Amino acid sequence: MTDSTVQHVSDTAFWVAHHRGLEHLRPQPLFRDPLAAQLAGERGKRVAEAMPNAPMTNWVVTMRTLVIDAYVREAVAAGVDTIVNLGAGLDTRPWRLELPAELRWVEVDYPHVIAFKQAQLQDQPPRCQLEQVPLDLADIRARQALLARLNGEARQLLVLTEGVVVYLDEAAVASLADDIAGLPHLAGWIVEYVSPASIAARQRSGVDKRLAQAPFRFMPADWFSFFASHGLTVRTMRYVADEAARVHRPAPLPWQARLVMALMRPFASPARREGFRRAMGYAWLQRSA
């Protein structure tokens, strides 16, 4: 990894970890992640510097981190005993969150990602029972076997995919959704929602040009109907904009954009304003009744 551009989807983990590390260094951070900078290293910094609109990326990463942290706490409080993080990347929740020592946390990712993470954190004990599984999620049989095993060993199982599904095509997401919906002990699946308008804005920003080797592929015409057709419905949706309002951290828009929005706000329809609010978020999906 010597180039600053993303060569593989797994490189985005360094990018995201870099931004979590930046939040940790703020005078009054919204969360603490003391291991993020160590994991991101110079690679994460170079990838971040090569991307346009870094402040907005930092804001999105921070808000989604808060949202998922809240989901994890809610799940644990509700009795979930096993959390499976598919495409875990350089996530550090087993180390940084206050979790029950008996909670089972399973990280799944490419073998080279798991090996890197193990080497970097070998002297850092997690706060729960951690299992790390080197596996390419595209290996359907291996993935199904793993999920079946974990389901059989769990009372209540929560699946987490943070920044994973958007990089898969619809057929791959459909296959994964069917696997997850078929788990009898499923408590839920935490998965990102990105609206078509938000994806279009991302494309205009120039980020996609830097992610030519890891483009967004999952763009169904109707996100909610897509998952409903695979036996999954939304139990809870937490939108990034709502989380930002809750913690008083507005999106870092350029002053020109803020001025235009302020001038247009009185004329924007309720539907348009609601569309901005629901641009992106994370859903807790559950099996359809």
What's the rounded Cα separation, in Å, for the pair 199 and 193?
10
Strands 104-109 and 82-86: parallel
When pLDDT is cut at 50, 70 and 90, the band that residue 269 belongs to is: confident
pLDDT at 85: 98
Q: Do residues 80 and 157 make contact, with C-beta atoms less than 8 angstroms apart?
A: yes
When pLDDT is cut at 50, 70 and 90, the band that residue 210 belongs to is: low
Residue appearing with tokens 């808000």: 63
Helix (H, G, I), strand (E, B) or coil at 71: helix
Percentage of the chain beyond pLDDT 90 is: 73
Contacts of 160 (CB under 8 A, 6+ apart): 68, 71, 72, 83, 84, 85, 86, 189, 190
* CATH 3.30.465.10 is right for the domain spanning 53-287: no
First-last CA distance in the chain: 46
| pLDDT higher than threshold 50 for residue 95 | yes
The mean pLDDT value for 247-268 works out to 71
Per-residue pLDDT tens for 219-246? 998 999 999 999 999 999 999 999 999 9
| pLDDT higher than threshold 80 for residue 28 | yes
Each domain of the chain, given as residue ranges in start order, spans: 53-287
Per-residue pLDDT tens for 42-92? 999 999 988 888 999 999 999 999 999 999 999 999 999 999 999 999 999
Q: Do residues 11 and 40 make contact, with C-beta atoms less than 8 angstroms apart?
A: no
pLDDT at 205: 62
pLDDT at 80: 98
Q: Do residues 250 and 277 make contact, with C-beta atoms less than 8 angstroms apart?
A: no
Least confident of 90-94, 128-132, 179-183, 248-252: 248-252
pLDDT at 274: 72
Does pTM surpass 0.85?
yes
pLDDT at 204: 66
145 or 251: which leads in pLDDT:
145
What's the rounded Cα separation, in Å, for the pair 237 and 149?
28
pLDDT at 1: 38
The mean pLDDT value for 258-277 works out to 66
